[in-house]
């Protein structure tokens, strides 16, 4: 089969690879119909994720059709259309019982990281009963690719950890797919204001279309001063970091109000300075999280009802044979205006 293989920092290629086979009775083999590229894949290619070794097939998002199941799989059968969770869960260990699927003792974020992933024609899914979701008949499967990772990530790591509430003020630093997913799902809680901050005017324009009350270009404006003006000098109740570089986290430290929350979502590959000399007396909470995908069933219902429309995030479409071009497009989003690219296998 064809698959996108990581060969070390800065190196990738579309290769012929063996088709995966059942290794455990709880496995399923899924034929990928659509997948996508995540910002985390770009972090891997930069060398920011040392757990991902050269030779790994990348990708942790997608939808597909069950091809084969192990003897202990009871929820799925060949021919079923499924949504693949970016997080693998055994549903039995102590972490899974606490809802922390991301730290499953026999799973977590392993797809496209420590086992082969979804940017391929086929993928092996461990603990299939708990790591796949059935796709309702008639659903827009292309749109549901957004439910593998970015929507639950933006919601769980940004909105829920950020404790957004009715009437609150929110700043989201980073208007990429994750930041926009946080913007879309933050509106479940009716905050009074959502300020989107980025360097890219195109993405800021998209953010306005998606419901941001204010947009600020951090390359041209004094964002901290603007936030003070918008909040009567207080800062925001919730600052969501959705990029994963030191400058954006430090900006969140400047934007948060006393008693507020900094919710980190970004994948950080280098150290970040924590300015406790400024924060120690301000009752600020800082949260970190790897997505658990416990909210995926709820988000699936909101998509089915039309309350959430993740298809808006899709800007480009490619075939699997064009995946290197897809990476080029996604990796140069400032020029291509890419948000999410969908790859049909």
pLDDT of 254: 97
Residue 179: pLDDT above 90? yes
Residue 319: pLDDT above 90? yes
> Region 296-310: what's the mean pLDDT?
94
pLDDT of 145: 97
> Region 72-76: what's the mean pLDDT?
98
Angle CA 331–333–338, to nearest 5: 110
> Region 153-164: what's the mean pLDDT?
98
pLDDT of 251: 98
pLDDT in tens, 111-148: 999 999 999 999 999 999 999 999 998 899 999 999 99
pLDDT of 95: 98
pLDDT of 264: 98
> Region 202-224: what's the mean pLDDT?
97
Residue 287: pLDDT above 90? yes
Find, among 108, 121, 88, 111, the residue nearest to 20 by Cα: 121
| 296 vs 138 pLDDT, higher one | 296
pLDDT of 269: 86
> Region 188-201: what's the mean pLDDT?
98
Work out the mean pLDDT of the chain and round it to a whole number.
Answer: 97
Dihedral sign for Cα 105, 261, 155, 223, please: negative
CB of 111 within 8 A of CB of 88? Answer: yes
pLDDT in tens, 11-41: 999 999 999 999 999 999 999 999 999 999 9
**Cα dihedral 276, 280, 285, 286 in deg (nearest 10):** 10
> Region 237-258: what's the mean pLDDT?
97
Distances (CA, A) of 170 to 223, 257, 278: 13, 10, 20
Q: Are strands 56-57 and 2-8 parallel, antiparallel or unpaired?
A: antiparallel
Distances (CA, A) of 208 to 194, 224, 255: 10, 20, 20
pLDDT of 129: 98
């Amino acid at each position: 089969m064809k698959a996108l293989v990581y060969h070390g920092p800065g190196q990738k290629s579309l290769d012929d690879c063996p088709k995966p086979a059942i290794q455990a009775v709880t496995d399923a083999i899924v034929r990928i119909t659509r997948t996508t590229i995540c910002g985390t894949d770009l972090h891997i290619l930069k060398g920011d994720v040392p757990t991902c070794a050269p030779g790994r097939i990348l990708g942790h998002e997608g939808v597909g059709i069950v091809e084969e199941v192990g003897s202990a799989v009871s929820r799925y059968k060949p021919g079923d259309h499924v949504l693949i969770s970016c997080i693998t869960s055994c549903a039995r260990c102590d972490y899974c019982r606490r809802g922390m699927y991301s730290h499953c003792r026999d799973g977590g974020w392993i797809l496209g990281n420590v086992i082969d992933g979804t940017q391929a024609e086929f993928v092996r899914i461990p603990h299939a009963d708990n790591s796949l979701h059935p796709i309702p008949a008639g659903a827009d499967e292309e749109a549901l690719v957004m439910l593998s990772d970015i929507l639950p990530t933006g919601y769980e790591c940004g909105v829920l950890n950020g404790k957004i509430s009715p009437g609150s003020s929110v700043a989201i630093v980073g208007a990429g797919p994750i930041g926009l997913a946080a913007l879309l799902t933050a509106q479940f809680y009716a905050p009074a204001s959502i300020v989107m901050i980025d360097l890219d005017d195109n993405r800021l324009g998209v953010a306005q279309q998606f419901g941001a009350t204010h947009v600020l270009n951090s390359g041209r404006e004094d964002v901290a001063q603007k936030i003070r003006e918008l909040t009567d000098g207080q800062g925001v109740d919730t600052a969501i970091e959705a990029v994963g570089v030191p400058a954006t986290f430090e900006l969140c430290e400047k934007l948060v109000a006393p008693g507020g929350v900094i919710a980190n979502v970004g994948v950080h590959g280098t150290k970040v300075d924590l300015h406790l000399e400024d924060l120690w007396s301000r009752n600020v909470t800082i949260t970190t999280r790897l997505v658990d995908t416990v909210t995926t069933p709820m988000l699936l219902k909101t998509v089915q009802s039309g309350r959430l429309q993740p298809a808006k995030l899709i800007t480009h479409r490619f075939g699997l044979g064009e995946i290197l071009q897809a990476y080029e497009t996604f990796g140069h989003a400032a020029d291509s205006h890419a948000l999410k690219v969908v790859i049909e296998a």
